[in-house]
Every structure is written in C-alpha cells, then in structure tokens.
C-alpha cells in the first residue's frame, strides 16, 4: 500500500489527466460540429447538391418536361428559406403587392376541390409555371427546352431571338396573369369559346358578371352582346390563329382583335413568328424578319402596347397540359406532328390554373351536333374535325371537370 502522500499525488495526477482528456474531447466535438455545419448543413453547396439530387432521384422517369429542373430548384429554394430570418421572405417568393391575398380565402375554390378529388387531385399541379418571363429564361431552362419542338420547347428558334424577346418581359406583370386582384376574395373567370351553342343563349350578362373574361380567335361581339357579353379582359391567340381569324371571319364582323386599355394579350408560342411578333409589339417596330416581316403590330394591339399588356404561356405549361389532360391518340398517328390542344382548350386550362372559380361558355358539349360551328354564323355549319385538334377528347374533359364540380360548363 502506497504512503498517503504518494496516494494524494497520484490522485491529483489522475484528475489532471481526466481534465485534459475532457478538454480534448470537447475541442474535437466543436471542430467536428463546425465541419458538419459548413460542409453538410442544408445550406452548404455540398448538402444542397445532395439534397437536390435526392429530390430529383425521387421523380419517376415519366416526369413531365421541366419537372426535374423544377424539383432541383424547389429543393434549393426550400434550403434558402430555412436559412432566412423569419421576418424576411426571399424576393422571388413574394407576391406582387397587387396580388397579395387579403381577408379570408376563397370559399369553395377550384383548388380546394381539386385537392380532395380522387381523379383530378393527381392530374393538377399548380406548381407548374403558367407564364414564361425574363426570370425563367436561365441556362438550365434553355438546355431543357432547346431540343423540344414548339410549342413545347424552342427547337429551331435561335438563342438570340429568345433572349432579346424574353428580356423585354421583365416586369412583374409578365409573371402573373392578373395585374390586380379584384375586391372580393375569389377570382371569378369566364372563358368564352366561339361555339354555336351560344347563339340565342342570352348568357351575355352572366358572362360580364365575372371578374375576368377570356376570349380567343374570332371573338365577334357586335350584334351578339346579349349572348356573349361585352367585357374582354384577356384575348388568347397564336399569331397564326389570330391572322387566320381576321381573314376567315371578316365576313361575320371580326375585322380587328379586341383593344382597350385594361385588356391583356396572351400569346401562345406555337412558332418562331410568335416570339418575333411579341418582341416587335413591345418595341413598337415592324416585325424585322420571318413570315410576318414588315407587319405592324400596332394595328393589332394598338399604338400604346407596353410590355405589361402581354403574357406568354410557358412551354412547360403547354407540355404539362397536353401530357396530363389532353394526350390524344392522334399523337400516335401519322398526323401526330400536327396535334396540339386547341386555343380554347389552352385558354380554359390557363384559367383553371389561375382563377378561383371558372365558367366555360361556347365550348363543345355532347349536343354539339344541334348547333352551328360558330355562334355568329347565319347559316348552320357543322363542326368539322381536323387532325391538329382532338375536339371530342376536349369535350370529354370539359364534361368531366363539370361533373366533378371543378368548373361550370354551359350546356343546352
């Protein structure tokens, strides 16, 4: 047995060793924690790449065009939000002041109905961008869309044309369909097709009672106000359908497209000429090249058509609409390269992804054979079917959406 003095010395030495070991362990833990935070935290480049890739990997190989890109971007955005102080919202996550919702949410909105619907809850994705604008034109988007055919991509359209056009779409008004939210909590929209079912319908007042009214192509109003109303908030078209309508329906009174200070134009980018016309319209110059070279956009949209008046549908939205809602058997035929959803279908689905309540007038229904092709035709003309659209598939979709209570379809 050690003498008492020696025992005390040994105990003191052992305590000092324990203290040293504890200090070493503490420092090691701090250093490891610092390494983990800087290299593996959700905000670090390494972790962000890993997290984004994990999110991408969870998507099936049948993902919609652009969804992989969006998944990675969404993952990165969620990371940034985690690191942001609670009282700060990243600029790209803000609603423009005119878009911010006030008061209680819209009761019975179509989004709430879609969410609980066993069929359409899987089809609708309100995260797909409806409109293309400057902030969406990134290298990633260019690489994603440059090899896909129009209108679902940019194949055959030069980078310089796209860049010079989209950089002009740099106002928040180009990123949101509605420049201002109506006074009520619900955005109520009427989409007016040109079907013969509207002739004698006396739906004009009901149409005009909506907050916003969409019209398209050969939208004749004069002489049919009681049937189709007078209000026009949005006019949807491609340059091809607009010009063909001005030629084909001039005899019925369609001599110019709607114009007013509050009206907004929705371009469907179905060809190079749409991007060229859009650019020239904003700049107020003749179309410099292509099929419409020398044409004056002011005769269509008025002399004071600023960038805020124009909206451009996103190619990803068009691909999503075709894939989720209107995938026609025509696509498998020799005419598949011609097929795309009709202008009316694209306007109606645009409204269904942006409005709280949607009513459709003048669209094809089960009783289409009882009516003329268009409501303004003096002599009944049967609805003809062409390979570029699948009108019966569209009729089936409108009927189903009506039956599920997601929209209201005017029928007779």
**Residue 239 belongs to domain with CATH number:** 3.90.1480.20
Q: Which of the four pLDDT bands, split at 50, 70 and 90, describes residue 87?
A: very low
pLDDT score recorded for residue 184: 72
Residue 266 half-sphere exposure toward CB, CA atoms < 13 A = 27
Question: Token pair 């609603």 is at which residue?
Answer: 95
184-188, 265-269, 375-379: least confident range: 184-188
How much is the pLDDT for 11? 46
Residue 243 has pLDDT above 80, yes or no: yes
CA–CA gap between residue 245 and residue 269 (Å, rounded): 17
% of the chain at pLDDT higher than 90? 70
pLDDT at position 35, please?
36
Q: Does residue 89 fall inside a structural domain?
A: no
Whether the CA torsion 82, 86, 92, 95 is positive or negative: it is: positive
The region of weakest confidence among 28-37, 124-133, 204-213 is 28-37
Band (17; pLDDT cuts 50, 70, 90): very low
pLDDT at 366: 95
- Average of pLDDT values for 348-368? 97
For residue 43, pLDDT beyond 70: no
Does residue 93 belong to any structural domain of this protein? no
| Cβ(390)–Cβ(326) below 8 Å | yes
Mean model confidence pLDDT for the chain: 81
Task: Tell me, yes or no, whether 405 lies in a domain.
Answer: yes
Taking 60 as the threshold, does the pLDDT of residue 21 lie above it? no
pLDDT digits (tens, 9 = 90+) for 157-193: 999 999 999 999 999 999 999 987 777 789 999 999 9
Order of strands, edge to edge, in the sheet holding 234-237? 310-312, 264-267, 234-237, 212-216, 188-192, 357-361, 408-409
Q: Residue 94 above 50 pLDDT? A: no
> Which residues constitute the domain of residue 356?
111-178+187-409
102-128 average pLDDT score: 87
**How many domains is the chain partitioned into structurally?**
1
Cα atoms in the Cβ-side hemisphere of radius 13 Å centred on 44? 11
Token pair listed for 370: 């009882």
CB-CB contact of 287 with 295 (8 Å): yes
Q: How far apart are CA 281 and CA 302, in angstroms?
A: 9
Percent of the chain predicted with pLDDT > 70: 75
Flag whether pLDDT at 102 surpasses 50: no
User: Does 146 reside within a domain?
Assistant: yes
| pLDDT reading at 57 higher than 90 | no
Most confident of 38-47, 77-86, 186-195: 186-195
Asked whether residue 78 is assigned to any structural domain, the reply reads no
Residue 47 lies in a domain: no
Name the 3-class secondary structure at 191.
Answer: strand
Q: Is residue 50 part of a domain?
A: no
| pLDDT for position 298 | 94
Residue 69 has pLDDT above 90, yes or no: no
User: What's the pLDDT score for residue 16?
Assistant: 52
For the stretch 117-156, pLDDT in tens is 999 999 999 999 999 999 999 999 999 999 999 999 999 9
- CA-based angle 93:98:101, to the nearest 5? 70
- Identify the DSSP state of 110: H
Residue 374 · residue 325 · CB < 8 Å? no
- For 60-69, 123-132, 289-298, 371-380, which range has the lowest pLDDT when averaged over its residues? 60-69
pLDDT, greater one: 176 or 60: 176
The answer to whether position 85 is within a domain reads: no
Task: Tell me which residue has tokens 């902030």.
Answer: 135
More confident residue, 87 or 255: 255
């Amino acid at each position: 047995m050690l003498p008492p003095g020696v025992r005390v010395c040994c105990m003191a030495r052992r305590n000092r060793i324990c203290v040293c070991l504890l200090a070493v362990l503490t420092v090691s833990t701090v250093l490891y924690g610092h390494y983990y935070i800087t290299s593996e935290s959700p905000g670090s480049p390494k972790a962000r790449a890993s997290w984004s890739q994990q999110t991408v990997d969870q998507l099936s190989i049948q993902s919609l065009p652009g969804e992989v890109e969006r998944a990675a971007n969404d993952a990165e955005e969620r990371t940034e939000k985690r690191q942001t102080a609670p009282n700060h919202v990243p600029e790209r996550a803000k609603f423009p002041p005119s878009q911010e919702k006030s008061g209680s949410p819209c009761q019975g909105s179509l989004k709430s109905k879609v969410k609980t619907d066993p069929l359409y809850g899987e089809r609708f994705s309100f995260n797909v961008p409806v409109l293309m604008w400057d902030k969406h034109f990134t290298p990633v988007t260019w690489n994603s869309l440059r090899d896909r055919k129009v209108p679902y991509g940019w194949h055959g359209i030069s980078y310089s044309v796209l860049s010079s056009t989209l950089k002009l779409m740099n106002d928040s008004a180009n990123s949101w369909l509605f420049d201002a939210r109506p006074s009520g909590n619900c955005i109520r929209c009427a989409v007016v097709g040109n079907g013969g079912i509207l002739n004698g319908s006396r739906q004009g007042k009901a149409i005009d009672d909506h907050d916003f009214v969409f019209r398209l192509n050969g939208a004749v109003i004069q002489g049919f106000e009681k049937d189709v109303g007078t209000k026009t908030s949005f006019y949807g078209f491609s340059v091809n359908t607009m010009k063909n309508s001005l030629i084909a329906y001039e005899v019925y009174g369609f001599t110019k497209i709607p114009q007013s200070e509050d009206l907004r134009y929705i371009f469907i980018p179905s060809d190079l000429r749409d991007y060229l016309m859009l650019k020239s319209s904003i700049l107020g110059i003749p179309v410099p090249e292509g099929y419409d070279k020398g044409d004056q956009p002011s005769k269509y949209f008025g002399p004071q058509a600023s960038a805020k008046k124009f909206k451009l549908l996103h190619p990803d939205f068009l691909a999503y609409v075709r894939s989720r809602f209107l995938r026609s058997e025509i696509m498998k035929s020799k005419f598949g390269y011609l097929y795309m959803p009709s202008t009316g279908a694209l306007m109606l689905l645009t409204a269904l992804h942006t409005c709280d309540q949607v009513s459709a007038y003048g669209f094809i229904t089960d009783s289409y054979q009882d009516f003329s092709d268009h409501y303004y035709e003096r002599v009944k003309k049967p609805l003809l079917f062409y390979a570029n659209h699948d009108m019966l598939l569209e009729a089936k979709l409108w009927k189903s959406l009506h039956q599920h209570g997601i929209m209201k379809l005017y029928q007779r």
